[in-house]
Amino acid sequence: DGPEIPQTDPPTVPVFKVYPKKSFPVGEIQEHWGDFNTFRMTSEEKRHLDRLDETMIYDLREAAAIHKTVRQWARPFIKPGVPLIDIATKIEQKVLELLPKDGLNKGMAFPCGVSLNHVAAHYTSNPGDKWVLGEHDIAKIDFGVHVNGHIIDSAFSVHFDSELDPLSEAAREATNTGVKHCGADAYISDIGEAIQEVMESYEVTLNGKTHSVRSVRNLSGHSVQKYLIHAGKSVPLVRGGERIRMEEGEVFAIETFGTTGKGFVREDLDTSHYMRPFDSGHVNVRMGKARGLLKVITENFGTLAFARRWLDDLGESRYLLALKHLVDCGAVEPYPPLCDVRGSFVSQFEHTVYLRPSHKEVLSRGDDY
Ligand SMILES: O=S(=O)(c1cccs1)N(Cc1ccc(F)cc1)Cc1ncn[nH]1
Ligand SMILES: [Mn+2]
Ligand SMILES: [Mn+2]
Ligand SMILES: [Mn+2]
């Protein structure tokens, strides 16, 4: 590591050169939820355990520093009249510049989603998408950054009509409540209940009609592991979840979605997000072009999610039939946009939280959200 290099405006210096010897900013430290956890804040043994996983915490903080730098830089051009494809590609390109991109060691963990209005998640422009952000829209900007497979998954909502303020505020506060209720040994069902209570305490009036904000009941936060964006535990947004506990050492993406619609999302519109199953092992694909495409996907994305347009960036063309074949034979999983009813509006905020032995660290906390 040479001497630290000050970040430029606009940011162009890879973040590991700005912070020498892994002195990346520390995320927001919170105590674990529950008075059954007070022993953690004091015990020497727990602080000792904190120090054991140095590489992971530094990788997460580096990825978080990049997420925060990029979303601050991007905010001025997330405005009405800007094509959605430009928002997604500019954010992705800036992430790759600040890492910098290094094969499967440093990169995007999944595509930059730009989901509008009743579309809650998993929408990003496919090649040729001409859609433009509108002044009455609410956009969910959701992107992932990883360093050595350690993923920061964080998202925020952008809107322009002040009528939508309570809808955005509801998700922001519900997510912060979820984050606050995280802790080693905390029940994920208790978190869901706390989230729903805050979310549904908000109401929003649109075109003279007042709605109580609802939690989307079939979306959830999720545990995260190395190179695996959803690691098996889901954190519900409503009461009545399973009595499953969070555990020390786990990383969670805590995300909440508020809606003026049904509070239930279905898959709709064209798929743009894809990901190989983590446990897929070797799949023998008969169709030649599909076999070649699977090789490109495995080499460039591994078990991380990718966008259809990223295949074009790699020089692939006329790949849709081969991609469909890979989906049909289970070699690649599609993640279509998740939509509430048309005409409804959905908001989202998301943070990545690390349950360290002595404290929890809200890695993606910035001074924006
Ligand atoms: O809805 S999920 O599939 C999920 C699975 C189990 C519990 S939540 N998903 C993980 C994911 C899947 C595919 C992607 F391309 C990107 C992410 C949550 C999420 N999407 C965006 N941010 N966080
Ligand atoms: Mn403390
Ligand atoms: Mn996300
Ligand atoms: Mn997530």
Q: How far does residue 163's CA lie from ligand 1's centre (Å)?
A: 29
Regarding the beta carbon of 121 and ligand 1, being less than 6 Å apart is answered yes
Q: Are 191 and 243 in contact (CB under 8 A)?
A: no
* Cα dist from 99 to 38, 142, 215, 298, 358, whole Å: 37, 18, 35, 21, 29
Query: Comparing C-alpha atoms, which of 215, 203, 313 is closest to residue 265?
Result: 215
Query: What confidence score (pLDDT) does residue 360 get?
Result: 97
The ipTM (two decimal places) reads 0.97
Q: For 266-298, b where at least 16 C-beta lie within 10 A, e where not — what string?
A: eeeeebbbbbbebeeeebebeeeebbebbeebb
CA 305 to ligand 1: nearest atom: 15
Substitution candidate for ligand 1 out of 222, 235, 274, 339 with most atoms within 8 A of CB? 222
Q: How far does residue 144's CA lie from ligand 3's centre (Å)?
A: 7
**Whole-prediction pTM value?**
0.97
- pLDDT per position as a tens digit, 89-142: 999 999 999 999 999 999 999 999 999 999 999 999 999 999 999 999 999 999
- pLDDT per position as a tens digit, 217-254: 999 999 999 999 999 999 999 999 999 999 999 999 99
Residue 276 has pLDDT above 90, yes or no: yes
- pLDDT per position as a tens digit, 42-72: 788 888 888 777 889 999 999 999 999 999 9
Position 1 confidence tier, pLDDT thresholds 50, 70, 90: low
Regarding the beta carbon of 230 and ligand 1, being less than 6 Å apart is answered yes
Cis status, amide bond into 10, omega within 30 of 0: yes
- pLDDT per position as a tens digit, 7-45: 999 999 999 999 987 899 999 999 999 988 888 877 888
DSSP-based three-state secondary structure for 34: coil
Query: What confidence score (pLDDT) does residue 203 get?
Result: 98
Q: Catalytic positions, please? A: 142, 153, 222, 230, 255, 350
What's the mean per-residue pLDDT of the chain?
96
Query: What confidence score (pLDDT) does residue 36 get?
Result: 85
Query: What confidence score (pLDDT) does residue 249 get?
Result: 93
Percent of the chain at pLDDT above 90?
90
As a whole number, mean pLDDT of residues 69-95 equals 98
CA 155 to ligand 1: nearest atom: 22
Q: How far does residue 359's CA lie from ligand 2's centre (Å)?
A: 7
